[in-house]
Structure 1
């Protein structure tokens, strides 16, 4: 039987491992160290009506015996260097994740059907796909919404958008790192194999409220800007290529 193969798209993911994360007066990526800055927060706060404050904390590896407010999202730091989602070149940081948590001005946890505040090691499942490893750094962004806004979808979306603006500052630096200085390089291909079985993976995602939403095809891998809410799309089926999914085309905001 003839099994001709045709390559549709090629995706290259280059990883840059981070071994130290520190606070400074600007954002830098150098010698496996990520320096971040809280200086952008004053500017971010002027853009939104529902956010009262943003606090940043660096959680070192294995330091998870600590209190956390309700976890709203875990976000990898990746960026497109060439092409669009699902093709071209992507740079991604390993060894560090962003964790987004939230309360409102009255101290109520940001949650809809149940909150996840408590001791971090009991609330965050480590060492799994999409979550930090126990040896990773966590950049914790705690957003305080104005009182009574913890279940308001508009306020929740503002919180995600504000967090994305902070992460974008890191992405912009990540775009410019030495293309030859990567830790690992992986190539993935979307292929058509003639006369072979067609395989589709069905993934059911949440789309029912402020804390149960997913964004499809943002501008950046696992980003927010440019993404379309599965709720606003009417919860209709969406087709993604394997490389689009692999490249962060689905942002789960749960």
Structure 2
């Protein structure tokens, strides 16, 4: 789209669906403001994952943060691409619920790089900040136990992120099918070029040193893992990301 003052390059529509209840059930589904997780999903997502020694999934309700957790590897929203690719088209996302990935190995060594964050959750995580759940949000805790010593190599944490992404993907498939008219919020974002105006670029330094210090770019799904490229495998070269790609979850921290 072009007018006298600007050129609209990309249009991204994000539709959110608010969740107030999460529970385990016979199948994964989203009904109204309730999300249910399939009880036997662990067997499926850990199959063909030889580095995973054990995995547990727990639901942490608001106000239940006075509890022990292993080192926090990532906190991610649940979002799915409905139309188009990252940075454009339509994305559905859940509000009121986040997924938190934690990790340890069989010998009790925390999966972390330059400092682990295991301990009491209410002391280790500050709520209501960008990238963290709010005090009224539900947390789906995915706790991975790797084979002994596997947290020291890229393959171990990568397996943990991959198995967590399999869980989220099952939710995404249900999220994609929700009627767009039933969303609780709807926002439109545009990547815009303004000819003759100043050009602005924001430089974001991301981790790319190995093991936990890695960053995935441009996965198939927003804030996803599958199909992404490691910044290390890309040679730690500069990568151009549009504002809408950034909004749509093109960058995933691996630490």
Q: What TM bracket, shorter-length normalisation?
A: over 0.9
TM-score (norm 1): 0.97
Task: Tell me how large the CA RMSD over aligned residues is.
Answer: 1.1
1:70–1:111 Cα contact (<8 Å) kept? yes
2:230 maps to which residue? 229
Q: 1:194: which partner in 2?
A: 195
**Counterpart-to-counterpart distance in 1, 2:79 and 2:39:** 20
Counterpart-to-counterpart distance in 2, 1:4 and 1:103: 54
Q: Deviations over 1:37-65 (max 9, x none)?
A: 24121122221111011101000012111
Distance in 1 separating the partners of 2:222 and 2:46: 24
Give the aligned partner of residue 55 of structure 1.
56
Partner of 1:20: 21
- Deviating above 4 A after TM superposition, structure 1's stretches of 4 or more consecutive aligned residues are none
Alignment of 1:78-157 (within 5 A): 78-157=79-158
Alignment match, 1:64? 65
**Paired residue secondary structure (1:7):** strand
Secondary structure of the corresponding residue to residue 42 of structure 1: helix
Give the conservation status (yes or no) of the 8 Å contact 1:57–1:140: yes
Is 1:38–1:56's contact at 8 Å kept on the other side of the alignment?
no
Q: Which residue of 2 aligns with 1:30?
A: 31
Return the alpha-carbon distance in structure 2 between the equivalents of residues 192 and 153 of structure 1: 39
Corresponding position: 1:250 with 2:244:
no
CA distance in 2, matches of 1:239, 1:194: 19
Q: Is the 8 A contact 1:3 1:196 kept in 2?
A: no
Kept after mapping to 2: 8 A contact 1:3/1:195: no
Q: What displacement does 1:95 show?
A: 0.3
Output one character per residue of 1:48-106: Cα deviation in whole Å (capped at 9) or x when no partner.
11101110100001211111111111011000000000000000000000000111111
Q: CA deviation at 1:148?
A: 1.4
Unpaired segments ≥5 residues, structure 1? none
Q: Give the TM-score of the pair, scaled to structure 2.
A: 0.97
CA distance in 1, matches of 2:218, 2:112: 25
Q: Secondary structure at the match of 2:114?
A: coil
Counterpart position of 1:209: 210
CA distance in 2, matches of 1:41, 1:56: 8
Distance 1:28 1:147 in 2: 35
Distance in 1 of aligned mates of 2:112 and 2:189: 37
Secondary structure of 2:130's match? Answer: coil
